[in-house]
Amino acid sequence: MAGLVPAIHVRQHATMRGGYVYILASAPNGILCVGVTNDLVRRIYEHRNGLVLGFTKKYSVKRLVYFERYEDIQTAIQREHNMKHWPRKWKVRLILAGNPEWNDLYETITQ
């Protein structure tokens, strides 16, 4: 993909294959956004650097607060579709169960 830092685009993680559903937040208890990707590191890099036009860029939704890994992208797409229709309260509960401090998890996936 044009415009990506080569180190991010070329870097492949054995543990980062399949599909991912993720939740981004603007801040703890802030604006939430649910997404899906087959390359979590690349996609979060794009969000963090304003390369994704639209909602996340407009509202500075850049903090990775939750993600799930799936063996295949179709399962991840279905999960994302379901989660997008959840009430906000359910998404917040999911985040709090695994990340009660609302820490940015980006550094954990790039190591």
Answer whether residue 93 shows pLDDT above 70: yes
Q: Domains of the chain by range and CATH?
A: 17-109 (3.40.1440.10)
- From 8-12, 44-48, 95-99, the region with the lowest mean pLDDT: 8-12
φ, ψ dihedrals at 71, nearest 5°: -65, -30
Average pLDDT over residues 4-28: 68
SS3 81: helix
- The rounded distance, in Å, linking the Cα atoms of 96 and 20 is 19
**If residue 25 lies in a helix (H) or strand (E), which one and from where to where?**
strand 19-25
- The rounded distance, in Å, linking the Cα atoms of 38 and 22 is 11
Answer whether residue 17 shows pLDDT above 70: no
Neighbours of 13 (CB within 10 A): 12
Place of tokens 């603007």: 26
- From 14-23, 44-53, 74-83, 98-107, the region with the lowest mean pLDDT: 14-23
Answer whether residue 9 shows pLDDT above 60: no
Average pLDDT over residues 85-95: 98
pLDDT, residue 111, reads 84
- The rounded distance, in Å, linking the Cα atoms of 39 and 49 is 16
Answer whether residue 19 shows pLDDT above 70: yes
Average pLDDT over residues 95-109: 97
- Written as six digits, the tokens of 104 are 């940015």
